[in-house]
Each structure stands twice: as structure tokens, then as C-alpha cells.
Amino acid sequence: MDQFPRLFEVAEQAGQKASFPLDAAELRNFATAESMVSRLGPNFNAPPLSQEWFQAIAEKRHGRYGEWLPRHLEFNRHQRERVICLGSCLGTDWVNYALNAAEVTVAAETRLLDPILMNFQWRGLSVNVLPSDSGTVAMPDESADVIAANWMLDDEAPIRWASEVNRLLKPGGKILALVRARWNLKRITRFRWWMTESAWTRKSLARLLPDFDEIRVRQRQLRRSEVPGILRIIPMPLLERMAGNALILKAFKPLAIRAETRIAA
């Protein structure tokens, strides 16, 4: 833990206001989750919140086992569109929308706003940040072309945010969301089927926004080190589609004219 000093010390060294509410252990947990690893390796010796530290997280997250992320989260498909980002993370995926000329607004817990802002700033990117600790965000109705949500660390967040997603999206807008998969390889191979689990199944996630169109749920994200030896004969792309750790939701809000037709009918 020595490589993770208190955040206020790092901020003071960087000449920034020392106002971070996260401690070293919390920051380490967020970095581990963002990197999609079980523990942080020697690549994370850089000072927390430094350019090198954010780079190491991005390289790990979008590397060999995260190559699916740019395609399924559509980093390069929303130029000049307004993307609202929701969730509890460091914003490693979200900076890619800004890199591809999207107008990005982040609504996150107050304690995460400074780290997320720093992740954008070291790249020279602009972002609007709004505190959101209650499942709502102070923005007008139908103000987003896309909502990108990372709910991997909060299984209850999709339910809490569902009505707000519907309010914020323009007719025809889409949601791209990551949630934790209940039926992942670890759960299946350790025969913990009987245990209560709050994570999501494909079926339950598809029902989150029942009035939306073209609802698709895919499963991804699995590291070879997580696969028991007896199963390593199965190709990794197939195995992660069957038992990956993450589910990806993609769905479109119906066009207003279609919604009015349904009501009339």
C-alpha cells in the first residue's frame, strides 16, 4: 500500500486543491476494477492520479482482454453528439468519447468527480461534471443522444437509474451500459448456484427498459487466468460469450411519434 499515499498528499504535490474524499484503499479498489484485474501489478508504481498512472489503467483495460470495449461501447461513433456518462468508476472508457469529438457530461458520485476530471484534463480534454449521489442528474429532459453507463460496481444502480435514463435520452437515443454478470465462469465452476446473487442475468437486464427498442444484451470480459485448466481447450472468445464477467446492454428509446401511436392504440 506504500505506493498509494493519501490522495490529499498527491494533490498537494501536483499543486491542486487537496479536497479528495477517497483514501488510498478506495482508490486502489477503483483502479483494480477499472483495470479488470484481480490485483495491481508493477505497472502501477506511478503516483496515483498521475498521467502515467491513468495511462497504465487504460492500457490494461483496453488491452488484450478488453479489446471488445471500443466496439461495444462505440467510442468512435458519436462525434458531435451529447454523451452523458453515469456510474462509479474513474472514467477510463468515457475519455474515449471526448477523444472522438463527442460532447461529454459525467454525472457521478461527488467523491469521484475530481479523479474523473483529472483523467480528462491530463489528455487536454474538456468535460462537464455534475454531482449525482441519488440516481438523478440536474439536466433537462431529452438532452442526451447517448447514455454510457458503468454499473459494474453497483448492482442496484440500473434499477435506481432506469427512469432517469428514460427521461434524459432523446427519442431515438441509445443506452450503452455495463453491468456485472451473475452467471460468470467463477460462479458456475465453483457451484455457487444456490447462493443469493444480486448481479444481472441476460434476461433480467433485457427487462430493465421494457419500452425500449432493439434491446440487445451481450456477455464479455474474461481473463485466461480465470479459466480452469480443463476448460482452456475452449476458445476464449466463445468462453467469454458464455460466461464472461460483464453484460453489455444496448437499447434505443422509441421515437416520440411511435410512442404516441402506442398510447393512442
- Asked if pLDDT for residue 18 goes beyond 80, the answer is no
Q: What is the structure's pLDDT at 41?
A: 73
Name the pTM for this structure.
0.86
Which tens digits make up the pLDDT trace of 83-99?
999 999 999 999 999 99
Q: What is the structure's pLDDT at 45?
A: 79
- Give the domains, in start order, of the chain with CATH numbers: 7-61 (no CATH), 67-264 (3.40.50.150)
Which tens digits make up the pLDDT trace of 24-46?
888 888 999 999 887 777 667 78
Q: What is the structure's pLDDT at 117?
A: 95
Beta strand residue intervals within the chain, DSSP E: 82-87, 103-108, 128-131, 144-151, 169-180, 213-220, 246-252
The confidence band for 20, taking pLDDT boundaries of 50, 70 and 90, is: low
Question: Is residue 113 a contact partner of residue 106, using CB atoms and an 8 Å limit?
Answer: yes
How long, in residues, is the chain? Answer: 265
- Asked if pLDDT for residue 257 goes beyond 80, the answer is no
Residue with cell 490485483: 39
Give the rounded percent of residues in the chain with a pLDDT score beyond 70: 85
Q: What is the structure's pLDDT at 21?
A: 73
Which tens digits make up the pLDDT trace of 149-201?
999 999 999 999 999 999 999 999 999 999 999 999 888 887 666 666 678 99
Q: Please state, in angstroms and as integers, the Cα–Cα distance from residue 179 to each residue in 137, 151, 152, 183, 258, following that order.
A: 20, 5, 5, 12, 29
Which tens digits make up the pLDDT trace of 125-145?
999 999 998 888 999 999 999
Q: SS3 string of 72-120?
A: HCCCCCCCCCEEEEEECCCCCCCHHHHHCCCEEEEEECHHHHHHHHHHH
Q: Please state, in angstroms and as integers, the Cα–Cα distance from residue 134 to each residue in 86, 137, 175, 179, 196, following that order.
A: 12, 8, 19, 18, 25
Ramachandran sector of residue 251 (left: φ over 0; alpha: ψ -120 to 50; beta: rest): beta
Q: What residues have CB less than 8 Å from 160, skipping those under 6 apart?
A: 135
